[in-house]
Structure formats: C-alpha cells, structure tokens
Amino acid sequence: MDELIRHIYSSAWEEGVDNDGAGIGPADVVVCLTNGEKFVASFFSYDQIAELRRVHQASGEFLHGAYFWSKHLVLVENCGPPFVRRVVEHLLEEGELAEVFDKV
C-alpha cells in the first residue's frame, strides 16, 4: 500500500512526536495519495474519548458527557504516526478509505 500513499500528515505530530502515540492528542489526519486525491479524518484514542467524557460530564457539554460525535471519527489504540499509517494502509487494502475519510 505504500505505493498508493504519498504522504500522511497531522499537525498533532509537529511538536515532540512520540512514535508510540503516548501523549498525542486527537489528531486530524490528512492522507495524500499518489493519484492526487486527499482525504481527512479525525483520530481519537479510546483513552482520549474516556477523558473527553469526564471533561464533558463536568462541563455539561454533550449532555454532560452522555454522547460524543465528530465527523469522520476513527477510534484507535493510539494516535502515533506508525499506528495511524497501519490503520490507513489497512483501510486502503479493504477499500474503505473513502468510506471513513472525507475527500477534500
């Protein structure tokens, strides 16, 4: 699948990227393919969703944490670059990238 991927980018990776994904917050990920197509999705770890729920319960947002939504949301073990690449490659192999990501 590497031959189809030109570049995967996230601003969450710019400062002090920890390749294991620890400490990387939700990441808006842009995938640029070799055919010129670009796709974007928001990656959240399961731990980050749990933390958001706690925050929303306290703040009252999202009916006090009763629900959460985000367009083109992908839940992952971590938001580190190597793991995100694995997910993107898998979605390409399964023919699901355009289903999960928003084409830009």
CB atoms within 10 A of CB 40: 16
Query: For 48-86, what is each residue's pLDDT tens digit?
Result: 999 999 999 999 999 999 999 999 999 999 999 999 999
Q: DSSP letter string over 43-100?
A: EEEHHHHHHHHHHHHHH-HHHHHT----TTEEEES---HHHHHHHHHHHHHHT-HHHH
Q: What residue spans define the domains of the chain?
A: 5-103
Mean pLDDT of 14-42: 82
**Chain-wide mean pLDDT for the chain?**
91
Residue 46 has pLDDT above 80, yes or no: yes
Q: What tokens were used for 77? A: 């073990």
User: Is 77:45 a contact under the CB 8 Å cutoff?
Assistant: yes
Confidence of residue 23 (pLDDT cuts 50, 70, 90): low
CB atoms within 10 A of CB 3: 7
Residue whose pair of structure tokens reads 């030109």 in the numeric block = 6
Q: What tokens were used for 32? A: 């640029």
Q: What does the alpha-carbon distance between residue 83 and residue 97 come to, in Å, rounded to a whole number?
A: 15
